[in-house]
A and B are shown apart, each in its own frame.
Chain A
Amino acid sequence: DTGVSQNPRHKITKRGQNVTFRCDPISEHNRLYWYRQTLGQGPEFLTYFQNEAQLEKSRLLSDRFSAERPKGSFSTLEIQRTEQGDSAMYLCASSSGRADTQYFGPGTRLTVL
Protein backbone atom coordinates (compact mmCIF):
# COMPACT_ATOMS: atom_id res chain seq x y z
CA ASP A 1 0.00 0.00 0.00
CA THR A 2 1.78 3.08 -1.22
CA GLY A 3 -0.89 5.59 -0.27
CA VAL A 4 -2.61 8.17 -2.44
CA SER A 5 -0.29 9.89 -4.88
CA GLN A 6 -0.80 13.12 -6.80
CA ASN A 7 1.07 14.69 -9.67
CA PRO A 8 2.38 17.22 -10.13
CA ARG A 9 3.04 18.44 -6.61
CA HIS A 10 3.32 22.03 -7.77
CA LYS A 11 2.02 23.80 -10.85
CA ILE A 12 2.53 27.42 -11.83
CA THR A 13 0.57 28.63 -14.79
CA LYS A 14 -0.53 31.83 -16.44
CA ARG A 15 -4.10 32.99 -16.35
CA GLY A 16 -6.11 31.55 -19.20
CA GLN A 17 -4.07 28.36 -19.54
CA ASN A 18 -5.46 24.87 -19.00
CA VAL A 19 -4.03 22.57 -16.37
CA THR A 20 -4.55 18.90 -15.55
CA PHE A 21 -3.81 17.09 -12.31
CA ARG A 22 -3.61 13.39 -11.71
CA CYS A 23 -4.55 11.31 -8.67
CA ASP A 24 -3.69 7.67 -8.08
CA PRO A 25 -5.75 6.30 -5.19
CA ILE A 26 -4.84 3.50 -2.84
CA SER A 27 -5.11 0.29 -4.81
CA GLU A 28 -8.51 -1.36 -4.60
CA HIS A 29 -10.16 1.77 -3.23
CA ASN A 30 -13.26 2.22 -5.32
CA ARG A 31 -14.15 5.69 -4.06
CA LEU A 32 -12.21 8.78 -5.02
CA TYR A 33 -12.75 12.37 -3.95
CA TRP A 34 -11.39 15.75 -5.01
CA TYR A 35 -11.19 18.67 -2.59
CA ARG A 36 -9.87 22.21 -2.86
CA GLN A 37 -8.12 23.94 0.01
CA THR A 38 -7.24 27.61 0.25
CA LEU A 39 -4.85 29.09 2.76
CA GLY A 40 -6.14 28.97 6.31
CA GLN A 41 -9.22 26.98 5.42
CA GLY A 42 -10.26 23.36 5.59
CA PRO A 43 -10.67 21.29 2.45
CA GLU A 44 -13.86 21.89 0.44
CA PHE A 45 -15.52 19.04 -1.39
CA LEU A 46 -15.47 19.25 -5.20
CA THR A 47 -16.53 15.89 -6.57
CA TYR A 48 -16.78 12.18 -5.84
CA PHE A 49 -16.42 8.99 -7.89
CA GLN A 50 -17.50 5.48 -7.12
CA ASN A 51 -15.53 3.33 -9.54
CA GLU A 52 -15.76 5.21 -12.85
CA ALA A 53 -19.06 6.93 -12.11
CA GLN A 54 -19.03 10.55 -11.01
CA LEU A 55 -21.84 10.55 -8.46
CA GLU A 56 -21.71 14.01 -7.01
CA LYS A 57 -20.41 17.44 -7.90
CA SER A 58 -20.25 20.54 -5.78
CA ARG A 59 -21.58 23.82 -7.08
CA LEU A 60 -18.01 25.03 -6.50
CA LEU A 61 -17.10 22.99 -9.57
CA SER A 62 -17.82 25.47 -12.33
CA ASP A 63 -18.06 24.48 -15.98
CA ARG A 64 -14.35 25.21 -16.33
CA PHE A 65 -13.63 22.23 -14.12
CA SER A 66 -13.96 18.65 -15.24
CA ALA A 67 -12.96 15.40 -13.57
CA GLU A 68 -12.72 11.92 -14.95
CA ARG A 69 -11.97 8.44 -13.73
CA PRO A 70 -12.18 6.47 -16.95
CA LYS A 71 -11.20 3.02 -15.72
CA GLY A 72 -12.13 3.34 -12.12
CA SER A 73 -8.51 3.64 -11.05
CA PHE A 74 -6.67 6.95 -11.41
CA SER A 75 -8.49 10.23 -11.84
CA THR A 76 -7.74 13.53 -13.54
CA LEU A 77 -8.97 17.00 -12.69
CA GLU A 78 -8.76 19.57 -15.46
CA ILE A 79 -9.22 23.30 -15.10
CA GLN A 80 -9.74 25.23 -18.30
CA ARG A 81 -9.04 28.93 -18.74
CA THR A 82 -7.53 29.23 -15.29
CA GLU A 83 -8.21 32.30 -13.19
CA GLN A 84 -6.23 33.71 -10.29
CA GLY A 85 -9.02 32.62 -7.97
CA ASP A 86 -8.26 29.01 -8.87
CA SER A 87 -4.97 29.23 -6.97
CA ALA A 88 -5.26 26.66 -4.19
CA MET A 89 -4.18 23.22 -3.04
CA TYR A 90 -6.09 20.48 -4.84
CA LEU A 91 -6.40 17.37 -2.72
CA CYS A 92 -7.42 13.88 -3.67
CA ALA A 93 -8.65 11.25 -1.23
CA SER A 94 -9.78 7.66 -1.56
CA SER A 95 -11.72 5.16 0.49
CA SER A 96 -12.83 1.59 0.11
CA GLY A 97 -16.40 0.44 -0.15
CA ARG A 98 -16.08 -1.45 3.11
CA ALA A 99 -14.79 1.43 5.19
CA ASP A 100 -15.59 5.09 5.21
CA THR A 101 -12.25 6.58 6.15
CA GLN A 102 -10.85 8.89 3.50
CA TYR A 103 -7.10 8.92 3.04
CA PHE A 104 -5.60 11.98 1.43
CA GLY A 105 -2.77 12.46 -1.00
CA PRO A 106 -0.11 15.17 -0.65
CA GLY A 107 -2.00 17.56 -2.89
CA THR A 108 -1.15 19.64 -5.94
CA ARG A 109 -0.41 23.29 -5.24
CA LEU A 110 -1.67 25.44 -8.12
CA THR A 111 -0.52 29.01 -8.56
CA VAL A 112 -2.16 31.07 -11.30
CA LEU A 113 -0.23 34.20 -12.23
Chain B
Amino acid sequence: GESVGLHLPTLSVQEGDNSIINCAYSNSASDYFIWYKQESGKGPQFIIDIRSNMDKRQGQRVTVLLNKTVKHLSLQIAATQPGDSAVYFCAERRGPNFNKFYFGSGTKLNVKP
Protein backbone atom coordinates (compact mmCIF):
# COMPACT_ATOMS: atom_id res chain seq x y z
CA GLY B 1 0.00 0.00 0.00
CA GLU B 2 0.95 3.60 -0.21
CA SER B 3 2.76 4.99 2.80
CA VAL B 4 5.07 7.64 4.06
CA GLY B 5 8.39 6.12 4.95
CA LEU B 6 11.84 7.09 6.10
CA HIS B 7 15.12 5.72 4.83
CA LEU B 8 16.98 5.66 8.14
CA PRO B 9 15.47 4.94 11.54
CA THR B 10 18.43 6.43 13.44
CA LEU B 11 20.90 9.15 12.49
CA SER B 12 23.90 10.11 14.61
CA VAL B 13 25.77 13.33 13.91
CA GLN B 14 28.44 15.38 15.60
CA GLU B 15 27.47 18.67 17.16
CA GLY B 16 28.06 21.45 14.66
CA ASP B 17 27.68 19.23 11.62
CA ASN B 18 24.78 19.44 9.21
CA SER B 19 22.04 16.79 9.36
CA ILE B 20 19.93 15.48 6.54
CA ILE B 21 16.81 13.46 7.25
CA ASN B 22 15.06 11.83 4.34
CA CYS B 23 11.50 10.81 3.68
CA ALA B 24 9.93 8.95 0.76
CA TYR B 25 6.29 9.17 -0.18
CA SER B 26 4.38 7.33 -2.83
CA ASN B 27 1.15 9.28 -3.31
CA SER B 28 1.49 11.72 -6.17
CA ALA B 29 -1.76 13.41 -5.09
CA SER B 30 -0.22 14.66 -1.84
CA ASP B 31 -0.22 18.44 -1.90
CA TYR B 32 1.28 19.55 1.39
CA PHE B 33 4.06 18.28 3.63
CA ILE B 34 5.16 19.09 7.16
CA TRP B 35 8.21 18.15 9.19
CA TYR B 36 7.64 17.68 12.90
CA LYS B 37 10.07 17.24 15.77
CA GLN B 38 9.02 15.13 18.72
CA GLU B 39 10.89 14.96 21.99
CA SER B 40 10.30 12.16 24.44
CA GLY B 41 6.95 12.45 26.19
CA LYS B 42 5.85 15.48 24.18
CA GLY B 43 3.58 16.12 21.23
CA PRO B 44 4.99 16.74 17.74
CA GLN B 45 6.30 20.24 17.24
CA PHE B 46 5.96 21.98 13.87
CA ILE B 47 9.31 22.72 12.22
CA ILE B 48 8.69 23.65 8.61
CA ASP B 49 6.24 22.97 5.82
CA ILE B 50 6.20 22.98 2.05
CA ARG B 51 3.50 22.84 -0.59
CA SER B 52 3.69 20.70 -3.68
CA ASN B 53 4.09 23.75 -5.95
CA MET B 54 7.45 24.49 -4.32
CA ASP B 55 10.72 22.57 -4.30
CA LYS B 56 12.56 24.33 -1.51
CA ARG B 57 11.75 26.29 1.59
CA GLN B 58 14.08 27.69 4.22
CA GLY B 59 13.59 28.48 7.85
CA GLN B 60 15.91 29.26 10.68
CA ARG B 61 18.69 26.63 10.43
CA VAL B 62 16.33 24.29 8.59
CA THR B 63 15.64 23.72 4.91
CA VAL B 64 13.08 21.40 3.37
CA LEU B 65 13.56 20.08 -0.15
CA LEU B 66 10.82 18.45 -2.18
CA ASN B 67 11.51 16.36 -5.26
CA LYS B 68 8.17 15.42 -6.78
CA THR B 69 9.76 13.48 -9.61
CA VAL B 70 11.08 10.83 -7.25
CA LYS B 71 8.60 11.55 -4.45
CA HIS B 72 11.26 12.45 -1.94
CA LEU B 73 11.34 14.95 0.89
CA SER B 74 14.32 15.94 3.00
CA LEU B 75 14.96 18.05 6.06
CA GLN B 76 18.33 19.70 6.39
CA ILE B 77 19.43 21.05 9.76
CA ALA B 78 22.45 23.32 9.73
CA ALA B 79 24.96 23.36 12.59
CA THR B 80 23.16 20.65 14.52
CA GLN B 81 22.92 21.25 18.25
CA PRO B 82 22.30 18.87 21.17
CA GLY B 83 18.82 20.36 21.51
CA ASP B 84 18.03 19.02 18.05
CA SER B 85 18.13 15.47 19.36
CA ALA B 86 14.62 14.08 18.88
CA VAL B 87 12.51 11.98 16.55
CA TYR B 88 11.63 13.68 13.29
CA PHE B 89 8.51 12.86 11.30
CA CYS B 90 7.46 13.87 7.86
CA ALA B 91 3.73 14.10 7.29
CA GLU B 92 1.94 14.25 3.97
CA ARG B 93 -1.54 15.46 3.28
CA ARG B 94 -3.40 13.32 0.78
CA GLY B 95 -6.58 13.64 -1.18
CA PRO B 96 -9.33 13.25 -1.89
CA ASN B 97 -10.51 15.47 0.93
CA PHE B 98 -7.11 16.70 2.08
CA ASN B 99 -8.28 16.77 5.66
CA LYS B 100 -5.73 14.48 7.26
CA PHE B 101 -2.05 13.82 7.39
CA TYR B 102 -0.20 10.54 7.13
CA PHE B 103 2.95 10.14 9.16
CA GLY B 104 5.94 7.90 8.71
CA SER B 105 7.52 6.02 11.58
CA GLY B 106 10.13 8.70 12.18
CA THR B 107 13.90 9.11 12.29
CA LYS B 108 15.68 9.44 15.57
CA LEU B 109 18.41 12.07 15.48
CA ASN B 110 21.23 11.71 18.01
CA VAL B 111 23.58 14.66 18.31
CA LYS B 112 26.93 13.79 19.86
CA PRO B 113 28.71 16.57 21.74
Contact = CB atoms under 8 A, between A and B. Distances in A.
B45 A104 contact: yes
Contact of B100 (A33, A42, A105, A109): A33
A104 B44 contact: yes
Interface residues of B, number: 23
Contacts, number: 51
A100 B105 contact: no
Given A100-B32, A100-B93, A48 B105 contact: no
Given A91-B43, A105-B43, A106-B43, 20 more contacts: A4-B43, A33-B100, A40-B106, A41-B105, A42-B105, A42-B106, A43-B89, A45-B101, A56-B97, A56-B99, A100-B93, A101-B49, A102-B34, A102-B101, A104-B36, A104-B43, A104-B46, A106-B42, A107-B43, A109-B41
A92 to B, nearest CB: 8
Interface of B: 4, 32, 34, 36, 41-46, 49, 89, 91, 93, 97, 99-106
Interface of A: 4, 6, 33, 40-45, 48, 55-56, 91, 100-107, 109
B49 A42 contact: no
Nearest to B42: A106
A4 B44 CA distance: 11
Contacts of B34: 101-102
